[in-house]
Amino acid sequence: MGDMISLANDGKPAAGVAGRGRVGDTVTLKIDGFEVKAAAGKSILEAAQAYGIYIPHLCHHPILKPQGGCKMCSVEIEGRAGTVTACNTAVEEGMEVRTKTERTTHVRNVSLELMLASHPADCTSCAVYLNCELQNLMQYLGVAHSRLRRITKNNTGLAVGGANPLIKREPDRCILCGRCVRACADLRGVGALEYRSRDGEAYVGVKDGVTLLESDCRFCGACVEVCPTGAIQDMPGIFPTGVKRELAMVPCKSACPAHTDIPLYLRYTREGKYPEAVAILREKLTFPHSLGVVCTRKCEAGCKRGHLDEALSIRNVKRFAVEHDGEGAWRSRVTVRPASGKRVAVVGAGPCGLTAAWHLQRLGHEVTVYEQREKPGGMLTYGIPTYRLDRGIVDGEIGTLSEMGFVIKTGERVTSAAKLATEYDGVVVAVGAQAGSPSFLDVNDCANAIPGVAFARMATEDALPDMGAFVTVLGGGSVAFDCARGAKKAGAAQVRLICLEKRENMLADDEEIEEALAEGIEIYSGMNCVACEKGAAKDGTGSFVKSVTAVVVNSFAFGPQGLSMDTEPGSERVFPTDTLVYATGQRIDLDETFGLELGRANSVKTDEKLAASVPGVFAAGDAVTGTKSVVEAVAMGMEAAKNVDLWLGGDGTGVFDEVYLERGANDAVLGDGCGKRPAARSEDICDCDAAKAETERCLSCHLRLDIPKVRFWGDAAFKKRGVFQGTAGDAMQVAPGDAAFKKRGVFQGDGMGEMQDVPGRSGAMQADLGNTGPGHACGGDVPIVDIGFAPETDCPVDTARKIAAQAAALSCGKCVLCRDGMAQAAAILSDDVSGKGEEADVELLGEILALVRDGAGLLPPEPGASGDVHGGGGDGLAGPSAGSGSCRMAQSAAGDILELLSSHRDEFYGHILRKRCTKQVCEAYRPVQGEDRPRRQRRGRD
């Protein structure tokens, strides 16, 4: 147990406290009769959980520092009066703890009732129904608020800094546990949230009273993650559904077809550790440099930041990192398995085929790649224009991959996969989509009508025919834009692009569209060609296109019968055309002679393991899916490699499990003292500073996965009470928060009062409540309730009400007893004052006030004890004599009220039972009838 570190004490020994032991020591204690061993410095709650002993808790969260405010974890310790909160009381040698006694039940139940008094009873509209810790505790404790006054919250509009696109607020559901405040300050070091107060009511707000958007909030979601109720939630639609949580919570990674560990390589890039960043990229990407230039960046569409302002420039950051990789540290980490003796043929040397080849060769299989063209690279070489992707990059990447030792046979077209399957142990068909779909215009016999994919290839080979002055391109995808821009660059006078989709729905990247417009290309979106005028070719063979006619399309749909359109009558427009390029779809250049069962557009039919109709033959990439992107080809190449490896008797683990950089613990701290996150997206990642600035925009969604889940009372861990649960029993035992807390020292001092230095805590509280009393903060001066009582003239019940109301207003908001207890007392007394009291109020008030006065059942605090005057909000573990009840302010206020009411019992009962104010000062009451007044006289006669 030597590696156990006290979270709350930051590993520092709690010196000089008898019996508590040094950190690293193990103490033995008894909890509910079970013998429990725990590292010194651990809290009773942690020790109990580790042994499967459930203690209810609400403000406590395993990764956060304890606050002791909710009183749910109240326990009794043998030989000590009252109860203590288990979350912030340290274990001690020989301690005997009881978690379920009449007294602890009473403290918990009343505290929960007090919290429920202002919580909506309507759970049915709450998204966390059945996943709510409060609901779960209600069930466990069997408590509802029915005997208490309903408290209406008035500061909901201010809570958590107003509306924003990422965090959904339901402030009525907030119970002020402060987990979000602590997560933001202590875990993330940001400190955007704090307890605030207005009009006598505490709420969780944003520092300086600004909105969350104006604040230093990093939108990391830690607050949402730790919220026990539905008070703060993720805005629906940000995270994908139906995928595993570890992917879903990192939407960029989830959206990337190869599931690249994006947040991590962004982090390393931010730190200037480019080799590390590239190592992470390389685990999933065989062509990171090319992808850094031309990736369709689905990741950016997933980026959570996109909902806030603009997504990160993930692709351009990737390019920068790859270009600054240096020696390529990842190379030494690549796993190469011993030769398996199996031979594999890959058909097609595009990104998909080469990816499969590289992995399969790595896994010990002897791979030969067949490529029909002169050079490998597929669409990287023959499709994407050279002005977009430098061929040096592609050749370099293919060179790197080739070092693995597979053979590429160029200029060899495979005519039958079935035949190949007889010669090799496994075959991967990754031939791409090399043929243009026939145009729906009748132009197939026209020499000047060219399929887009062929036009693009000619452009890459510098072999474009004479295009004339007017070039018309049909289509709105990347290929269409490549063709249009290629034509323009090759000297066409006027290039027009006609596409069915409206501008906002065009398939091409915004960047491509904007560049095309800048280059002078005319874009006619939301139009479709319906006719073309043809002439006879001059040489007499076939015909040629003279012009095309397009109409405006109001709407369209693709149904089983193909395209259906609603066109605008009279919108026909004729475009004279010297060359027509139709980039309206691609087909797979295969037919039945290839020996495989084919599907739509000649794609290869496969099962879910990518196996084609002939055993041992697998297919992947565009050949299966139709035209997709490079990154999808790479991802599918990996999938094919995995399945072929399995087919060849491998274990299938070698492809997706490559690790080129060991993952240490994540740094949980986001606040770096540098202030607000940069807002504007930068496309131009030209130097280290630009890369740093852009990567600093990352919201670090992945950090949420490091926050452990709270165990509900029904959790399997609590079924074996008293049995050590090892690492599974309580996340605290393996100290997952160690990493999280390692930088706490940046902001904090030592010991009990350490939190005072955290930005956004004590200072703000003082400012916030500065006009209501003397300096008021946890660990600071005790605020004073200054309601006087003049026995001759004041009504004691009304005075009691005023004391309760002021005490509630002075509460820092952390502790249920002074916050909700005094608010409840004020509400009850307010009813009593105005004649709506009930007999049960006497007992109810007594119960609540006694609880507040005695500090959750503690002995009255010792006079002169400094440093823990505000025990309810005290941070750090309490020593044996420290209080963990309500604060001194509330204790004395509750005591005053009890004393006032008991010494003026007649007035109190008079208010409740007779609805009379004996002092005749409470406005609601008529003057008391009786002996004080003169008897009414009989009316006389005139």
Nearer to another protein, 127 or 574 (CB): 127
Nearer to another protein, 32 or 216 (CB): 32
Nearer to another protein, 231 or 890 (CB): 231
Q: Is 407 near another protein (CB under 8 A)?
A: no
Nearer to another protein, 138 or 506 (CB): 138
Nearer to another protein, 120 or 652 (CB): 120
- Least spacing, CB of residue 795 vs another protein, in Å: 21
Structure tokens at 445: 């016999």
Chain residues 506-535 in contact with another protein, contact rule CB under 8 A? none
Phi and psi at 596, nearest 5°, equal -120, 150
Give the one residue of 1, 81, 127, 659 binding another protein; rule: CB under 8 A: 127
- Least spacing, CB of residue 807 vs another protein, in Å: 23
Nearer to another protein, 152 or 554 (CB): 152
To 10 degrees, the CA torsion angle through 350, 298, 590, 456? -70
Structure tokens at 231: 């008070």
N- to C-terminal Cα separation, the chain: 102
Nearer to another protein, 156 or 340 (CB): 156
- Least spacing, CB of residue 228 vs another protein, in Å: 11
Nearer to another protein, 228 or 426 (CB): 228
Q: What is the DSSP letter of 472?
A: E
Nearer to another protein, 539 or 923 (CB): 923
Q: Is 124 near another protein (CB under 8 A)?
A: yes
Question: How many CA atoms, within 13 angstroms, populate the side-chain half-sphere of residue 117?
Answer: 25
Residue 63 · residue 737 · CB < 8 Å: yes
Chain residues 293-312 in contact with another protein, contact rule CB under 8 A? none
Binding part of the chain for another protein, among 125-133, 347-355, 406-414, 477-485 by CB under 8 A, reads 125-133
- Least spacing, CB of residue 229 vs another protein, in Å: 11
Residue 571 · residue 583 · CB < 8 Å: no
Give every CB contact of residue 430 below 8 A, 6+ residues apart in sequence: 346, 347, 348, 350, 352, 353, 356, 619, 620, 621, 623, 633, 637, 640
| # residues near another protein by CB under 8 A | 49
Give the one residue of 131, 340, 549, 613 binding another protein; rule: CB under 8 A: 131
- Least spacing, CB of residue 648 vs another protein, in Å: 23
Chain residues 752-771 in contact with another protein, contact rule CB under 8 A? none
Binding part of the chain for another protein, among 128-136, 427-435, 671-679, 723-731 by CB under 8 A, reads 128-136
Nearer to another protein, 105 or 756 (CB): 105
Chain residues 367-386 in contact with another protein, contact rule CB under 8 A? none
Give the one residue of 22, 245, 413, 905 binding another protein; rule: CB under 8 A: 245
- Least spacing, CB of residue 173 vs another protein, in Å: 6
- Least spacing, CB of residue 482 vs another protein, in Å: 39
Q: Is 653 near another protein (CB under 8 A)?
A: no
Distance CA 766, CA 812 (A): 10
B/e letters for 879-888, b = 16+ CB within 10 Å, e = fewer, are beebbbbbbb
B/e letters for 428-462, b = 16+ CB within 10 Å, e = fewer, are bbbbbbbbbbebebebeebbbbbbbbbbbbbbbee
Which H or E run contains 523?
Answer: strand 522-525
Nearer to another protein, 28 or 152 (CB): 152
Q: One symbol per residue from 95 to 114: x for binding another protein (CB under 8 A), - otherwise; what is it?
A: ----------xx--xx--x-
Place of tokens 């130097």: 687
Number of neighbouring beta carbons within 10 Å of residue 334: 14
Distance CA 211, CA 141 (A): 37
Distance CA 137, CA 177 (A): 14
Place of tokens 């009748």: 442
Nearer to another protein, 202 or 428 (CB): 202
- Least spacing, CB of residue 492 vs another protein, in Å: 48
Q: How far is CA 384 from CA 246, 294, 320, 599, in A?
A: 34, 9, 20, 26
Q: Is 123 near another protein (CB under 8 A)?
A: yes
- For 42-56, the DSSP string reads -BHHHHHHHTT----
Q: Is 719 near another protein (CB under 8 A)?
A: yes
Using DSSP bridges, classify how beta strands 343-347 and 426-429 pair: parallel, antiparallel or unpaired. Answer: parallel
- Least spacing, CB of residue 125 vs another protein, in Å: 5
- Least spacing, CB of residue 464 vs another protein, in Å: 51
Residue 181: strand pairing partners:
none
Chain residues 134-173 in contact with another protein, contact rule CB under 8 A? 135-136, 138-147, 150, 152, 156-157, 168-173
Q: Which amino acid is at 144?
A: A
Residue 345 · residue 384 · CB < 8 Å: no
Give the one residue of 102, 122, 591, 942 binding another protein; rule: CB under 8 A: 122
Nearer to another protein, 123 or 537 (CB): 123
- Least spacing, CB of residue 167 vs another protein, in Å: 12
- Least spacing, CB of residue 357 vs another protein, in Å: 31
Binding part of the chain for another protein, among 118-126, 181-189, 314-322, 930-938 by CB under 8 A, reads 118-126
- Least spacing, CB of residue 33 vs another protein, in Å: 19
Q: One symbol per residue from 689 to 718: x for binding another protein (CB under 8 A), - otherwise; what is it?
A: -----------------------x-xx---
- Using DSSP's 3-state secondary structure scheme, residue 763 falls into helix
Place of tokens 């030969």: 368
Give the one residue of 1, 28, 94, 121 binding another protein; rule: CB under 8 A: 121
Structure tokens at 482: 């490549």
Nearer to another protein, 146 or 555 (CB): 146
Q: What is the DSSP letter of 880?
A: T
Distance CA 206, CA 185 (A): 12
Helices (H) and strands (E) in the chain, counts: 32, 25
Structure tokens at 307: 């909902």
Q: One symbol per residue from 205 to 244: x for binding another protein (CB under 8 A), - otherwise; what is it?
A: -------------------------xx-----------xx
Distance CA 350, CA 432 (A): 7
- Least spacing, CB of residue 242 vs another protein, in Å: 10
Nearer to another protein, 687 or 843 (CB): 843
Q: Is 728 near another protein (CB under 8 A)?
A: no
- Least spacing, CB of residue 927 vs another protein, in Å: 21
Nearer to another protein, 127 or 746 (CB): 127
Nearest C-alpha neighbor of 681 from the set 667, 664, 699: 699
Distance CA 841, CA 915 (A): 13
Residue 184 · residue 219 · CB < 8 Å: no
Nearer to another protein, 124 or 561 (CB): 124
> SS3 sequence, 141-178?
HCCCCCCCCCCCCCCCCCHHHCCCCCEEECHHHCCCCC
Give every CB contact of residue 479 below 8 A, 6+ residues apart in sequence: 383, 452, 453, 456, 583, 586, 627
Binding site for another protein (CB under 8 A): 105-106, 109-110, 113, 120-132, 135-136, 138-147, 150, 152, 156-157, 168-173, 230-231, 243-245, 712, 714-715, 719
